[in-house]
Amino acid sequence: MAKLPTPATMYSALLRHDPTYEGVFWLGVRTTGIFCRPTCRARTPNRENIEFFAAPSDALHAGFRPCRKCRPLDHGRKPPPLVEQLLAAVEREPGRRHRDAELVERGIDPSTARRQFKRYCGMTFQAYHRARRMGVALSDIRKGKTVLDSQLDQGFASGSGFREAFARIVGTPPSQAGSLGVLHAKWLETPLGAMLALADDRGLHLLDFVDRRGLEQSLTLLQRRLRARVLPGEHPVLTQIVRELDEYFQGTRLMFNTPVVLTGSPFQLAVWRALQNIRPRTTCSYCELAVKIGQPAAVRAVGRANGDNRLSIIVPCHRVIGAGGALTGYGGGLWRKQKLLDLERSITADSC
């Protein structure tokens, strides 16, 4: 994760519209829900209304949409008509899915769309759309609002777009969610990027990076199995994990005491419990993990269960490596896996 300059330095660069900071940071404006380049010529917002990001994808996951004036996804050239068409389609309905079959029905070749979008915006269309959709759906959680169905008029094409995204991810419209249980949600900022935490009175059910590709599927599956809806708000379990994560990243904690709830098949539960037994500052191969659960031939299945883990860091799937010692298979990105391992190796017993 890129290290940002200080907020004072970035705001000063924004006031000067300093072109030397192009590509160094992007800024989101809370009052409009838009994110911009540091050289944007729109009216400069007040400092308290600004949030800084190291990458456009971070701003998208935080619920901001691209500024139409400075075009923060552009690279100094006009976007191809196909890219403009796709960007407009997402903004019209941020919560709607745009599957390959639908693109074909509109006369768009999916492979061409992926190639042009990647070349122009630095990410595939599906990656952009997923980030935008998740940003919309998680916006209230991030802001700490108490009612997910409240009218959102900051940064979204319409309130109905949010409700559609909510229904797709939560599994039911807000108006029909009254009979479900409740998972309290909190957006956490960490040195390795934003995370989402879900908890109830039993413990922590989910802790994951918001830009992980499988997060949306994890949310859908978890809520279906628990028959629960997600509501932002405080909870003692969330307060505890925030404190313990802060201590972990500050290098004063290696073990977590936050109660967790594992929800999965018997095989998945066996793998996740084995993960919990991998000590800090040590690693384990997929083969070794398969032996530990008594199924030495199930290496691939162990790998899949490892990837299905919903409790990043606490259930330490980042400590599982390839047979030759190489870093492999981490949903949050191999760079995060390396950072976590390096952090844990730097923490001494005396410091925690």
Structure tokens that stand for 188 in this block: 């956490």
Which helix (H) or strand (E) is 182 found in, with range?
A: strand 181-190
Decide if pLDDT at 342 tops 70.
Answer: yes
pLDDT tens track for 162-208: 455 445 544 455 445 445 577 888 888 888 888 889 999 999 999 99
Handedness of CA 29, 33, 34, 40 (dihedral sign): negative
Percent of the chain with pLDDT over 90: 39
Looking at residue 146, what is its pLDDT?
43
Residue 117 pLDDT class (50, 70, 90 cuts): confident
Separation of alpha carbons 57 and 69, rounded Å: 18
* SS3 sequence of 54-111: CCHHHHHHCCCEECCCCCCCCCCCCCCHHHHHHHHHHHHCCCCCCCHHHHHHCCCCHH
Looking at residue 136, what is its pLDDT?
66
The pTM assigned to this predicted structure is 0.63
Domains and CATH numbers, the chain: 1-68 (3.40.10.10), 266-346 (1.10.10.10)
Q: Which of 36, 67, 317, 352 is catalytic?
A: 317
Q: Mean pLDDT of all residues in the chain?
A: 82
Whether residue 36 lies in the annotated active site: no
Determine how β-strand 203-209 pairs with β-strand 181-190.
unpaired
Looking at residue 2, what is its pLDDT?
52
Least confident range of 235-239, 279-283, 347-351: 347-351
Average of per-residue pLDDT across 20-34: 89
C-alpha dihedral, 165 to 168 to 172 to 177, nearest 10° = -40
pLDDT tens track for 132-153: 776 666 666 666 654 343 333 3
Task: Calculate ∠ Cα 56-101-210, nearest 5°.
Answer: 30
Percent of the chain with pLDDT over 70: 82
Looking at residue 153, what is its pLDDT?
31
Decide if pLDDT at 98 tops 60.
Answer: yes
Looking at residue 207, what is its pLDDT?
96
Backbone angles phi, psi at 19, to 5 degrees: -70, -15
Average of per-residue pLDDT across 95-123: 81
